């Protein structure tokens, strides 16, 4: 039975790729991640405090695994998709539990996805309409400008 994370690799929720403590596995410091994703360290710690990340420790310091790296990427993608941090956490939980074979949870994930898809489609229409409106408004502004100039 193949790991679900394999089936779903390179899609939205690829969250349990590698063992964190594997010897050769690459790790990151907090500022490395911050630089790479162009966010602040504060934000990263905040995500942890919200339960979205749980990096290992090397003494006091946080040590981020490849899995954490992927999770962070997913967090940011989720945000772009319009999910709140709470919803992202929910999706992580649902998805993790679905890898233990909980079919119902997977359906729940699908529902969430569908919900978000509807919202995005609505936004898409709104934006396209807005662009048209703005273009028309702009056109008339420009026309008005030409009139003002020629009357001068």
Partner DNA sequence: ATTGACGTTGACGTTAACGTCAATATAATA
Partner DNA sequence: TATTATATTGACGTTAACGTCAACGTCAAT
Residues at the contact surface with DNA, assessed by CB under 7 A: 29-32, 39-43, 45-46, 59-62, 79, 84-86
19 contacts its own copies (rule: CB under 8 A):
no
Closest CA to 54 of 81, 13, 89, 97: 89
> Would the CA dihedral through 93, 94, 98, 102 be positive or negative?
positive
State the DSSP string of 24-46: T---B-HHHHHHHHT--HHHHHH
| Residue 113 within binding range of its own copies, rule CB under 8 A | yes
Find residue 65's DSSP bridge partners. Answer: none
DSSP per position, 105-121: HHHHHHHHHHHHHHHHH
Smallest gap, in angstroms, from Cβ of residue 53 to its own copies?
21
Minimum CB distance to its own copies smaller for 86 or for 137: 137
Q: How many H helices and E strands in the chain? A: 6, 2
The site map against its own copies for 78-107 (x = CB under 8 A) is --xx-------------------x-x--xx
List the single partner that 4 binds among DNA, its own copies, none, CB under 5 to 8 Å by kind.
its own copies
Q: What is the dihedral of CA 137, 139, 141, 146, to 10 degrees?
A: -170
**Closer residue to DNA (CB): 28 or 95:** 28
Site string for its own copies, 114-133 (x = CB under 8 A): x-xx--xx-xx-xxx-xx-x
Distance in Å, CB of 72 to DNA, minimum: 11
3-state secondary structure of 54: coil
Q: Interface with its own copies by CB under 8 A: which residues?
A: 1, 4, 7-8, 11-13, 77, 80-81, 101, 103, 106-107, 109-110, 113-114, 116-117, 120-121, 123-124, 126-128, 130-131, 133-138, 140-145, 148, 151
């Amino acid at each position: 039975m193949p790991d679900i994370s394999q089936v779903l690799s390179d899609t939205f929720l690829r969250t349990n790729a590698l063992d964190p403590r594997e010897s050769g596995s690459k790790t990151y410091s907090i500022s490395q991640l911050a630089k790479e994703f162009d966010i602040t360290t504060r934000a990263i710690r905040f995500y942890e405090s919200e339960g979205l990340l749980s990096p290992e420790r090397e003494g006091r310091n946080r040590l981020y695994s490849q899995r954490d790296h992927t999770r962070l990427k997913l967090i940011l993608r989720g945000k772009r998709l319009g999910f709140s941090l709470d919803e992202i956490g929910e999706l992580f939980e649902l998805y993790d539990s679905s890898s233990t074979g909980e079919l119902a949870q997977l359906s729940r994930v699908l529902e969430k996805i569908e919900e978000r898809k509807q919202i995005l489609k609505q936004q898409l229409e709104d934006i396209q309409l807005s662009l048209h409106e703005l273009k028309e408004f702009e056109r008339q502004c420009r026309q008005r400008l030409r009139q003002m100039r020629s009357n001068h």
